[in-house]
């Protein structure tokens, strides 16, 4: 499978590394990407950068699995989310590209945890995935087989709201040095 990752930062590289470990071909894209999008597209950019990507590639995103990893945190205050309280970044993205198969995933994992495959150097890293498309969640899990990460189905896309709240809490704890950036929440199953 070919996977296009928008974002070349720590998260994009950690996610891409896992896909590569699983045998997938990964292409990293910047905001000015002009190539053909892969079978799966990952938005590993800040939430504020998503709209320009969606606008530039709206037609090509139709029918593709679109993985949203964003946590729509107000990074100037670290005190609130910037999406409506009854919505999520993933829901807002799905409204803008209704023909895409949006999956919320990776947002409850820090880059170091994705790169090492361990939470706090103890528990295996689990990726929680929420989507209205069972096909999209299965595609994500299949694309990561062999990476060492496991994927747990967190339910429909409306569960993205809770995943984003978890991501927000984890980020705010780390920013206040209550947990480390190599730690975080573990799912034991």
Write out pLDDT tens, residues 4-27.
999 999 999 999 999 999 999 999
Backbone angles phi and psi of 81, in degrees to 5: -95, 150
Contacts of 92 (CB under 8 A, 6+ apart): 83
How far is the C-alpha of 132 from the C-alpha of 150, rounded, in Å?
19
Neighbours of 177 (CB within 10 A): 8
Please give the CATH number for the structural domain made up of 2-175: 3.40.50.720
- Single pTM value for the model: 0.96
Cα 8 to Cα 19, 40, 93, 158: the distances in Å are 14, 16, 20, 28
Query: Which among 79, 17, 82, 16 has a CA at the least distance from the CA of 49?
Result: 82
- The domain limits of the chain are 2-175
Q: Encode pLDDT of 79-133 as tens digits.
A: 889 999 999 999 999 999 999 999 999 999 999 999 999 999 899 999 999 999 9
């Amino acid at each position: 499978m070919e996977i296009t990752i928008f974002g070349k930062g720590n998260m994009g590289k950690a996610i891409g590394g896992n896909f590569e470990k699983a045998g997938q071909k990964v292409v990293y894209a910047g905001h000015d990407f002009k190539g053909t999008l892969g079978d799966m597209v990952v938005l590993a950019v800040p939430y504020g950068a998503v709209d320009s990507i969606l606008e530039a590639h709206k037609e090509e995103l139709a029918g593709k699995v679109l993985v949203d990893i964003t946590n729509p945190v107000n990074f100037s205050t670290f005190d609130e989310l910037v999406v409506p309280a009854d919505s999520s970044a993933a829901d807002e993205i799905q409204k803008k590209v209704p023909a895409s198969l949006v999956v919320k995933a990776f947002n409850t994992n820090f880059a170091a945890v994705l790169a090492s495959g361990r939470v706090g150097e103890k528990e295996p890293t689990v990726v929680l995935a929420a989507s209205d498309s069972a096909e999209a969640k299965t595609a994500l899990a299949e694309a990561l087989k062999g990476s060492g990460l496991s994927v747990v189905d967190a339910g429909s896309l409306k569960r993205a709201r809770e995943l984003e709240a978890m991501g927000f809490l984890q980020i705010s704890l780390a920013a206040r040095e209550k947990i480390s950036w190599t730690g975080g929440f573990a799912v034991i199953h």
